[in-house]
A and B are shown apart, each in its own frame.
Chain A
Amino acid sequence: EAGVAQSPRYKIIEKRQSVAFWCNPISGHATLYWYQQILGQGPKLLIQFQNNGVVDDSQLPKDRFSAERLKGVDSTLKIQPAKLEDSAVYLCASSLNNEAFFGQGTRLTVV
């Protein structure tokens, strides 16, 4: 069974630029999560989807971050404009029956 796919693996951008990350979950997994993990900390939930509906986006900085999950499968997370403090690893996970599996993440560096 294929795992959770994320791209790109690495991205370097200047502050105030925009960036987008893509996630393809495990086939059949209805729940999809985006997390932000700053170096030395635990992952912080940004947004959770159930199929193509948002379950929880309370920690998503909505003035600059947006996410969508069209057709309840793939998802994109966008940052516009980026700030220096957005430098982190962005992790996508999907789950079925409450057991979650993570992709390898996208390491974002904002300079």
Chain B
Amino acid sequence: GIQVEQSPPDLILQEGANSTLRCNFSDSVNNLQWFHQNPWGQLINLFYIPSGTKQNGRLSATTVATERYSLLYISSSQTTDSGVYFCAVDFDMRFGAGTRLTVKP
């Protein structure tokens, strides 16, 4: 099956800083989504982005399908951005191990 790798595994930021999270996948995919798991365990759908670029407020995502990676950008981070960010690929939604983000006030 498709292998999904996320980096970095952990990220600590000061409030207001920007960050880039990466998701690499081992084969071509037809579906890619980014999720945020908040400290209470709820998984929130951020982007459905099999290719191209999307933006939603301070968050944006880019997927370069031909090079098998996707990036999630968080600008002007806030403490409420803390949690674990996952990418999931393809129709059967295989998840990476996640990036744990901690934003300090």
Contact = CB atoms under 8 A, between A and B. Distances in A.
Interface of A: 33, 35, 41-45, 48, 55-56, 89, 91, 93, 95, 98-102, 104-105, 107
A89 B48 contact: no
Given A98-B31, A99-B33, A100-B33, A42 B45 contact: no
A99 B42 CA distance: 16
Contact of A100 (B41, B93, B98): B93
Contacts of A45: 92-95
9 contacts: A33-B93, A42-B98, A45-B95, A48-B92, A48-B93, A95-B93, A99-B45, A102-B43, A105-B41
Interface of B: 30-31, 33, 35, 41-45, 48, 50, 86, 88, 91-98
A44 B96 CA distance: 9
B93 A102 contact: no
Prevailing SS type, chain A contact patch: strand
Contact of A42 (B30, B33, B50, B95): B95
B25 to A, nearest CB: 13
Contacts of A89: 41
Contacts of B98: 42
A56 B33 contact: no
B86 A42 contact: yes
A98 B48 contact: yes
Contact of B42 (A55, A95, A98, A104): A104
A44 B43 contact: no
A101 B45 contact: yes
Given A55-B92, A104-B41, A105-B42, 19 more contacts: A41-B97, A42-B86, A42-B96, A42-B98, A44-B95, A45-B92, A45-B93, A48-B92, A89-B41, A91-B43, A93-B43, A98-B30, A98-B33, A99-B45, A99-B48, A100-B33, A100-B45, A102-B35, A105-B41
